[in-house]
Structure 1
Amino acid sequence: MQKLKDFIKKYYEGLAYLFFGGLATLLNLVVFAAFQAAFGTAFAAGIGNVLDNIICILFAYWTNRTFVFKSTNTGKAILAEFGQFVSCRIATMVMDQVIIWLGISVLGPVVSFSSANPQLWAMGVKLFSQVIVIVSNYVFSKLLIFKKK
């Protein structure tokens, strides 16, 4: 039992990021799927994806600040931290949007099996995009936003 406690203590930040990043990714995929089911793939891949990302950015900031990196910033420092977080997440949102557009609008029509089930193809593209985004977000968070002083 002590070995498990030591392991968790040693790797807490990475484990917490994986857990809460996983929750944020799950939230992202669920909202994307809900938009897709309610309004269609075109909406989910466009405006819906932007709205989806905004929801997830707010959720991720709260969980990263509170549970993962345990930031203690207050006052102007918290505003700067939030600004950096949102700026980096907007960058990865743009990356997500480009991957979604390329995967669904450009590559989708070329790949024959994507026409058999376009919703499933879109969800696969979204999942692929989330892997790229979560790794990028960790690097931004660790090196730029919540760096230890």
Structure 2
Amino acid sequence: MKDIYIKYKELINYIIFGVATTAVNYIVYAVFTIVLPLNYQVANLIAWFLSVLFAYITNKYYVFNSRSWDISRIFKELISFFAARVFSLGVEAVILYVGITLMSGNSLIVKLIDNVIIVIINYIFSKLFIFKQK
């Protein structure tokens, strides 16, 4: 089991922290759409921002082992990370609009399906562009 973890550590950690990030995103979204009945797009924006901050920290340290705390490196990573997430936010807004507004889907179910798609997109961007090893 340990050998499997070592071999696939990055992917396993990404899945673990991806699930945790998704949980942060989903819980914040649910709170803002159910408890404080905000428009689903506004709730999604708040959930997105908080989950992206969480994801940056966990991806940097635990997934891609970017140990550099040099300010210029952090700034570059953070800008790249948020830029990639802005792209995925656009994809997410479209998925939610189509699923909820056009197809009259259940907001929470559409959000769950959306999160699976977004996790895959975000891994690709993080792996290839943001935390790439030199």
Bin the TM-score by the shorter chain.
Answer: over 0.9
1:6 Cα offset (Å) = 1.1
Structure 2: which amino acid aligns with 1:75? Answer: I
2:92 is aligned with 1:107: no
Matched residue count: 133
Is residue 126 of structure 2 the alignment partner of residue 141 of structure 1?
Answer: yes
TM-score w.r.t. length of structure 1:
0.85
- 1:44 Cα deviation (Å)? 4.6
Instruction: Please report the RMSD computed on the Cα atoms of aligned residues, expressed in angstroms.
Output: 1.1
The corresponding residue for 1:85 is 81
Instruction: Check the 8 A contact 2:29/2:46 in 1, yes or no.
Output: no
Superposition deviation, residue 72 in structure 1: 2.4
Amino acid across the alignment from 1:145: I
C-alpha distance in 1 between matches for 2:67 and 2:61: 9
The TM-score, its normalising length taken from structure 2, stands at 0.95
Over 3 Å counting, the alpha-carbon distance change for 1:64 and 1:93 in structure 2 is same
Partners of 1:44 and 1:7 in 2: CA distance = 44
Percent identical among aligned pairs is 35
| Range moving further from structure 2, 23-32 or 131-140 | 23-32
Q: Deviations over 1:62-97 (max 9, x none)?
A: 000011101023221211111000000111011111
For residues 86 and 36 of structure 1, the distance between their equivalents in structure 2, rounded to whole angstroms, comes to 24
Q: Are the counterparts in 2 of residues 89 and 137 from structure 1 also a CA contact under 8 Å?
A: yes
Separation (CA, whole Å) in 2 of partners of 1:39 and 1:105: 20
Q: Which runs of 5+ in 1 are unaligned?
A: 109-113, 115-120
Please give the alpha-carbon distance, in whole angstroms, between the structure 2 residues aligned to 1:44 and 1:71. 37
Moved over 6 A (4+): none
Per the alignment, residue 122 of structure 1 pairs with 107
Structure 2: stretches of 5+ with no match in the other structure:
none
Which residues in structure 2 correspond to 1:42-81 (within 5 Å)?
43-73=38-68, 74-81=70-77
Contact 1:13 1:68 in 2 (8 A): yes
Q: Which stretch of the first structure deviates more once superposed, 93-102 or 58-67? A: 93-102
